[in-house]
Chains A and B, each alone.
Chain A
Amino acid sequence: MSATDLSASPSAPARSRTVVASLRLLRSELRIIAGRRRNQAGILVLASVPVLIAVALKFSQPREGRGPDFISSATSNGIFVSLTALSIEIALFLPLAVAALAGDTIAGEANIGTLRYLLTVPVDRTRLLAVKFVSLVLGACFGVLVVAVTGVIVGGALFGLGPTTLLSGSQIGLADALARLALAVLYLSAGLAGLAAIGLFISTLTEQPIGAMIAITVVSTAMWILDGIPQLEWLQPWLLVHYWTAFSDAFRDPIFYEQMRQGLLVALGYVVVFVSLAWARFTQKDITS
């Protein structure tokens, strides 16, 4: 259920005015996010992981076999530096980045007292919330993209970008590999959108951005822990993070969509429930700061 359905405008011109105003709001929101020093520092941290992996692999002895992740394939192809970095960062750094952004959205604005100014402009709360959520998702997508692109550049420079060996043993060319990497990036962004929805809701509950950030990180980390306990197998398909690692299914031959489709459905479920929770909360909240 989208937020705009609930505040349907009566006429077409009014609707297009609303769209233009929303886009303007989104643009200014993205400019604020990109302009924050801590967000810029966060992007540097995200980008440093593939660099560290590539450099460490370059100056270490090759080991037998490939191991359970992509890490030892990385020396044969730069694409795998991206995949290794993604599989490492999706566990903590990327959720942390989403938590930091989400903490700022509502709780952060409330904390520094700018939220009420935002609402004095004739901006509908529902629309404000929608813009905040979209900017969160775009921020998460940008974070994943930074990791992937840095990995390809650094990995490509150190190990080259030759034919990529898929998990199934067959080989593909660079264009195909990059397309599959793009699919993995989009898939992970969709997963993080689920977490962004949880973050948006938590952010409406408090005026302390740090508190919101910690709570969101706790939620994602707790889900990873639950996902690792074999006795909780019945619960795991319901966990947002359970299917995140399925991004590697893009590197099978042929691409294995079944788990990714499941992961998208779960992420969609989280988005629907938590964005509507955030909406129910935010549109009733008394905003005094």
Chain B
Amino acid sequence: MAPMPGASVAESRETRHHGGVSIFDRRPHLRWAVPAAAGALILAGTVAGTVGASADAGLPPKTAEALLVELQAPQATALSGTIVATADLGLPELPTGMGSSAELSSLVSGSHTLRVWSDGPERTRLAMIGTAQESDVVRNGRDVWMWSSTNDTADHYVLPERDTSAVSPLPADLPRTPQEAAALVLASLDGTTGVSTSGVDQVAGRPVYELILTPKQTDTLVARVVMAMDAETRIPLRVQVFSTAMSDPAYEVGFTSVDFSTPEARLFEFTPPPGATVTEHAAPSKEAMAAGSGTKPGAGASPTVVGSGWSQVVIAAMPVDEAAGLAGATVGGNGGEMASSGGLDAAALLESLPRTSGTWGSGRVLNGTLFSAILTDDGRIAIGAVTPQTLGAALAAQ
């Protein structure tokens, strides 16, 4: 075969052995339009996907009051689905390695994916998805199993008899499912909240009614809470908490997919795999569980509540070990000795907080998007969904 000097565009057109001169042959540069169009199409498709198709599925309008009533009487008990929880609480980056339960209580920052299965309140399974790791909380009647693939551990709890609450023995710092979040919000409804509705939307491909809770107080960091309730089953599918500091939700937990058929029964039966470390725990007392679900740090030592509703401030004496950590952070430099007890993490965290002072004294301040906290040098902690200024005023008034 004789070598050819080179194959130009023109030649390649000639070598085309099936006819049909397309527009691309006459105008070769138009070929660049193909990848451009493909890219634009993908972008447009994604945007359309996130915005969601027009949600108005012929749903009758409902008043906020009617929605509030319906929300408390869900029509489905069985479901399975995937939940994504996203938090932007404005907290400093937490040092890693804060203990073994870190995976399940690490919802305070970033985005997390959970899978949930439920067949009534007594048969539930929650799986937190990590990269090549998973931790599960499986409840079947009075048995609660907590499994961690990272630690290869299974913890078995037996709940007290006749306790039908869905409280897990694990203290969670943030609600992990829309149901938990909605229950938390509904439980705290009082005269300080305005309730309204913004009509319909779509969550996880299902039409929902939106219920908006707006604090009537002006000194809270919470701008509004938006709850999306499935139009058919009345189950909350998404809860968003908006801060006065930003336009995106500071905290959002919602389904990305949901299915209301009964999950397989075997999902609620957990058998620890061979080789796993199994720990049997005694039934936790009601008080312990109540303390566990009262999620505010330092809530153990008879806290004082200043104010009411959304702008209430909780003031408590700090637990001794945390106070020691704070002292260490204030003195500084001796963190190495505390490394074994995890004190280093707390100390490093506190060290990163800016100092502040006022008529109440001085201390360190945590200025979050939804709540702030002041840790005073004399061992008090004030926390609330308010600005640090309001916290300072509450501390001064104490």
CB distance from B246 to the nearest CB of A (A): 14
Q: Which of A76, A87, A168 contacts B136 (CB 8 A)?
A: A168
Residues 78-95 of A, flagged 1 when their CB comes within 8 A of B and 0 if not, give: 000001000100000000
Contact of B7 among A10, A65, A120, A276 (CB under 8 A): A120
Contact partner of A284 among B3, B29, B35, B274, CB < 8 A? B29
Interface of B, helix, strand, loop or mixed by DSSP: mixed
One of A147-155, A206-214, A252-260 contacting the partner: A252-260
State whether the Cβ of B110 lies closer than 8 Å to any Cβ in chain A.
yes
Chain B, 1-27, CB within 8 A of any chain A CB: 1, 3-9, 11-12, 15-20, 22, 24
Contact A123 B110 (CB under 8 A): no
Residues of chain B in range 127-178 having any CB-CB distance to chain A below 8 Å = 127, 129-134, 136, 147, 149-154
Chain A residue with Cβ nearest B1: A120
Q: Which residues of A contact B115 (CB under 8 A)?
A: 256
Instruction: Judge whether A252 and B134 touch: CB under 8 Å.
Output: yes
Q: Provide the bound-state CA to CA distance between A285 and B31, in Å.
A: 12
The answer to whether A165 touches B273 (Cβ under 8 A) is yes
Residues of chain B within 8 A (CB-CB) of A167 are: 132-134, 149
Asked whether, in the complex, the Cβ of A276 is within 8 Å of the Cβ of B34, the reply is yes
Stretch touching chain B among A1-9, A28-36, A174-182, A186-194: A1-9
Whether B132 and A116, one on each chain, are in contact in the complex, defined by CB atoms closer than 8 angstroms, is: no
The verdict on A1 contacting B82 (CB below 8 Å), with A169-B270, A233-B110, A233-B111 known, is no
> Provided the pairs A10-B19, A230-B110, A273-B35 are in contact, do residues A288 and B6 lie with their beta carbons within 8 angstroms?
yes
Q: Which of B266-283 contact A (CB under 8 A)?
A: 267, 270-276
- Nearest residue, chain A, Cβ from B31: A280
C-alpha spacing A248/B131, complex, angstroms: 7
CA distance A67 to B153 in the complex (A): 12
A119 contacts B by Cβ under 8 Å: yes
What's the least CB distance linking B110 to chain A, in Å?
6
Contacts of B1 in A (CB 8 A): 117, 120
Size class of the A contact interface (CB-based, 8 Å): 35 or more
B residues within 8 A CB of A10? 18-20
Least Cβ distance of A88 to chain B in Å? Answer: 11
Contacts of A1 in B (CB 8 A): 34, 38
Q: Which residues of A contact B147 (CB under 8 A)?
A: 168-169
B residues 26-59 with Cβ under 8 Å of A? 28-29, 31-32, 34-35, 38-39, 42
Q: Cα distance A155–B276 when bound, in Å?
A: 20
- 1/0 per residue, CB under 8 A from B, across A277-289: the answer is 1011001111111
CA distance A125 to B7 in the complex (A): 10
Q: Provide the residues of chain A in CB contact with B273, threshold 8 Å.
A: 165, 169-171
CB-CB contacts of A1-45 with B at 8 A, as 1s and 0s?
100001111100010001000000000000000000000000000
> Once the chains bind, are A283 and B34 in contact (CB under 8 Å)?
no
In the bound complex, residues from chain A placing their C-beta under 8 Å from that of B275 are 76, 165
A264 CB, nearest partner CB in chain B, Å: 14
- Is there a chain B Cβ closer than 8 Å to A272's Cβ? yes
- Known contacts A165-B275, A170-B271, A287-B6; A66 and B151 CB within 8 A of each other: yes
Are A69 and B132 in touch, CB under 8 angstroms? yes
Known: A170-B271, A276-B38. A284 touches B15 (CB 8 A): no
For B34, the closest partner residue in chain A by CB is A276
Interface presence of B256 (CB below 8 A)? yes
B 101-138 binary contact with A (CB < 8 Å = 1; else 0): 00000000011010100000000000101111110100
Cβ–Cβ < 8 Å partners of A289 in chain B:
6
The reply on B257 being an interface residue by CB < 8 A is yes
Residues in chain B near residue A116, CB distance under 8 A: 3-4, 6-7
Q: Which of A72, A76, A279 contacts B31 (CB 8 A)?
A: A279
Most buried by B among A18, A245, A256: A256
Q: Is the CB of A169 within 8 A of B113?
A: no
Q: List the A residue with the shortest CB-CB distance to B82.
A: A258
Given A168-B136, A258-B256, list of 12 further CB < 8 A pairs?
Answer: A10-B20, A65-B152, A76-B275, A124-B17, A165-B274, A170-B270, A249-B129, A254-B264, A273-B42, A283-B28, A284-B28, A288-B5
The 10 residue pairs across chains A and B that have the minimum distance between CB atoms: A280-B31, A248-B132, A276-B35, A119-B7, A165-B273, A167-B134, A277-B35, A9-B18, A169-B147, A288-B6
Would you mind naming 28 contact pairs between A and B with Cβ atoms under 8 Å apart?
A: A7-B16, A7-B20, A10-B19, A66-B150, A68-B131, A69-B133, A116-B7, A117-B1, A120-B1, A125-B12, A167-B134, A168-B149, A170-B270, A170-B271, A170-B273, A230-B93, A230-B110, A254-B264, A254-B267, A256-B115, A269-B42, A272-B42, A274-B35, A276-B34, A276-B35, A283-B28, A284-B9, A286-B8
List A residues at the B interface (Cβ < 8 Å): 1, 6-10, 14, 18, 64-70, 72, 76, 83, 87, 116-117, 119-120, 122-125, 165, 167-171, 230, 233, 245, 248-249, 252-254, 256, 258-259, 269, 272-274, 276-277, 279-280, 283-289
